[in-house]
């Protein structure tokens, strides 16, 4: 229920709190807390009484604006720990870190035992007696979503640093304490309800993605009763009238040009666009962000793409490995980097089929098991790509299956986009609900009675 009497509201002139109930009290953000105390990182734990739990930015639940269960322990002497100890209900603000898509300055509520401290990238803010910690957390969430923290960010060497003094000097309005508690109770209940809907939609989205992947494999590997053994470990059975060949028997697997190659002053060079791993998506080429590369004029022909080449990623994140798409020649000339193979087929009519096969479960399994892996990255060699077993149906069957695949993928993608839009709408509803509540647009009198 929303308040309806505009005469009871005050126009503040503040972009992030345009109007608020007239009885709310004006102040600065810093007036609602007992200072902003920087944390400490300490030393390696020693297994003694100085070992102390330390809350890092990684322990922030960025959706629920609370701390996650934390396990980091550091050695912090009592005299350094005592003035920094955290109490349940303290607010923690991220002072250093962040990034382009995740600006520094998020505030969460500490949930844990007294005795922990926060790291040196975080600062503690303890609410004053008249300020309810959970209400302040939601207020800061609204301000963060309105990008207020960006006004107080100082950038240095790729790390964002929040000028907490400047940020906390911003104006705000607080309702009476009992109303703060009611608003916080309302928001805790409403955000839990919305989060439940979001979780259900995410599970539905995951199921749709899995179903889509399963159908690609089922259609392109000949899921039928009339199957015969192939003797190949990667795809042991195929339809009787299909064949199995190594990719190297269907054409050339061409390596790309390494970035940063040095050229002497006498070499004639050109600046040309080139395809990177990020450009090769599942089944299509993304031309929204095409980089350029300096190449020797004599190398242009060798590394240029031809219409009908199947581009396949040599490496990257696990989900990018082996990913393929057909080059349609929308940019000419265009090169490909050394992390993208160009498969030039003897019969270019098979290009859409080879590209589609890279999306099957057996192909992904082959690429992953034959790759070199380190941390979150993987790469597959040119030799292993050449040895990839490719299933080949008769040409008329191939064309029918590709047509069927296109139709089914469109239906699946339409459903996926629909659910993604619903998720975006729920995220916007969650943010709008917080905004409406902390600006006093929602009648919370029923929660004040509880």
pLDDT tens digits along 410-447: 999 999 999 999 999 999 999 999 999 999 998 887 77
For residues 47-61, give the mean pLDDT: 93
Using a 10 angstrom Cβ sphere, with 0-12 exposed, 13-18 middle and 19 or more buried, the burial of residue 298 is: exposed
Is 328:307 a contact under the CB 8 Å cutoff?
Answer: yes
Top-confidence residue, 367 or 268: 367
Q: 305 with 342: CB under 8 angstroms?
A: yes
The structure's pTM equals: 0.80
120: pLDDT strictly greater than 90:
yes
pLDDT tens, 123-166? 999 999 999 999 999 999 999 999 999 999 987 667 899 999 99
* Cα distance between residue 362 and residue 235, in whole Å: 7
Q: Is the pLDDT of residue 232 over 60?
A: yes
The span from the CA of 436 to the CA of 21, in Å, is 12
| C-alpha separations of 152 from 69, 144, 162, 208, 290 in Å | 29, 12, 6, 42, 33
pLDDT, tens digit (0-9, with 9 covering 90-100), for 372-409 = 877 677 889 999 999 999 999 999 999 999 999 999 99
Cα–Cα distance, 148 to 396 (Å, whole number): 60
Residue 37 has pLDDT above 90, yes or no: yes
The full DSSP string for 282-324 is TTEE--SS-EEEEEEGGGHHHHB--TT-EEEE-EEEGGGTT-E
Query: Can you list the alpha helix ranges (DSSP code H) found in 146-295?
Result: 164-168, 177-220
The mean pLDDT value for 350-359 works out to 95
> End-to-end distance of the chain based on CA atoms, in angstroms?
17
Using a CB cutoff of 8 Å and minimum separation of 24, what contacts does 267-273 make? Answer: 267/296, 267/297, 268/296, 268/297, 268/298, 269/294, 269/295, 269/296, 269/297, 270/294, 270/295, 270/297, 270/300, 271/295, 272/300, 272/333, 272/334, 272/335, 273/331, 273/334, 273/335
| Mean pLDDT of all residues belonging to the chain | 90
Cβ distance 125 to 91 under 8 Å?
yes
> How far is Cα of residue 41 from the mean position of the Cα atoms in its chain?
28
Q: Which residue reads 């270019």 in tokens? A: 348
- Percentage of the chain surpassing pLDDT 70? 95
pLDDT band at 6 (very low <50, low <70, confident <90, very high): very low
pLDDT exceeds 80 at position 172: yes
Provide, rounded to the nearest whole percent, the portion of the chain with pLDDT above 90.
70
Integer Cα distance of 109 and 134 in angstroms: 7
Spatial separation of the C-alpha atoms in residues 81 and 420, rounded to whole Å: 45
Residue-level pLDDT at 372: 86
Yes or no: say if 386 and 327 are a contact pair by the CB < 8 Å rule. no
Q: Would you state the pLDDT for residue 377?
A: 79
């Amino acid at each position: 229920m929303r308040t309806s009497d505009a005469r009871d509201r005050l126009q503040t002139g503040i972009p992030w709190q345009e109007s608020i109930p007239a009885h709310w009290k004006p102040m600065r953000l810093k007036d609602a807390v007992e200072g902003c105390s920087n944390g400490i990182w300490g030393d390696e734990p020693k297994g003694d009484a100085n070992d102390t739990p330390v809350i890092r930015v990684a322990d922030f639940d960025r959706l629920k604006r609370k701390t996650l269960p934390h396990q980091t322990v550091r050695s912090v002497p009592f005299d350094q720990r005592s003035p920094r100890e955290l109490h349940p209900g303290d607010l923690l603000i991220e002072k250093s870190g962040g990034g382009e898509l995740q600006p520094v300055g998020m505030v969460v509520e500490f949930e844990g035992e007294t005795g922990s401290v926060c790291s040196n990238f975080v600062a503690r803010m303890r609410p004053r007696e008249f300020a309810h910690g959970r209400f302040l957390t939601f207020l800061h969430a609204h301000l963060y979503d309105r990008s207020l923290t960006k006004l107080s960010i100082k950038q240095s060497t790729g790390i964002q640093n929040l000028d907490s003094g400047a940020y906390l000097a911003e104006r705000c309005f607080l309702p009476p304490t009992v109303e703060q508690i009611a608003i916080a109770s309302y928001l805790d209940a409403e955000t839990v309800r919305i989060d439940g809907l979001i979780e259900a939609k995410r599970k539905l989205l995951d199921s749709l993605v899995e179903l889509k992947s399963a159908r690609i494999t089922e259609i392109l590997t000949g899921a039928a009763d009339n199957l015969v053994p192939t003797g190949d470990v990667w795809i042991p059975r195929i339809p009787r009238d299909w064949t199995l060949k190594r990719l190297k028997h269907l054409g050339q697997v061409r390596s790309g040009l390494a970035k940063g190659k040095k050229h002497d002053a006498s070499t004639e060079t050109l600046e040309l666009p080139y395809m990177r791993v990020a450009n090769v998506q599942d089944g299509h080429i993304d031309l929204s962000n095409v980089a350029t590369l300096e190449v020797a004029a004599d190398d242009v022909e060798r590394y240029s793409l031809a219409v009908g080449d199947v581009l396949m990623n040599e490496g990257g994140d696990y989900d990018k490995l082996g990913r393929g798409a057909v080059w349609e020649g929308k940019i000419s000339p265009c090169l490909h980097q050394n992390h993208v193979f160009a498969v030039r087929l003897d019969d270019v009519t098979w290009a859409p089929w080879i590209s589609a096969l890279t999306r099957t479960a057996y192909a992904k399994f082959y690429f992953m098991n034959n790759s070199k892996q380190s941390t979150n990255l993987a790469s597959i060699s040119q030799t292993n790509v050449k040895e990839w077993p490719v299933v080949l149906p008769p040409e008329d069957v191939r064309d029918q299956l590709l047509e069927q695949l296109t139709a089914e993928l469109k239906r699946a993608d339409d459903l996926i986009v629909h659910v993604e839009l619903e998720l975006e709408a729920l995220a916007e509803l969650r943010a709008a609900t917080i905004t409406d509540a902390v600006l006093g647009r929602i009648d919370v009198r029923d929660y004040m009675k509880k």
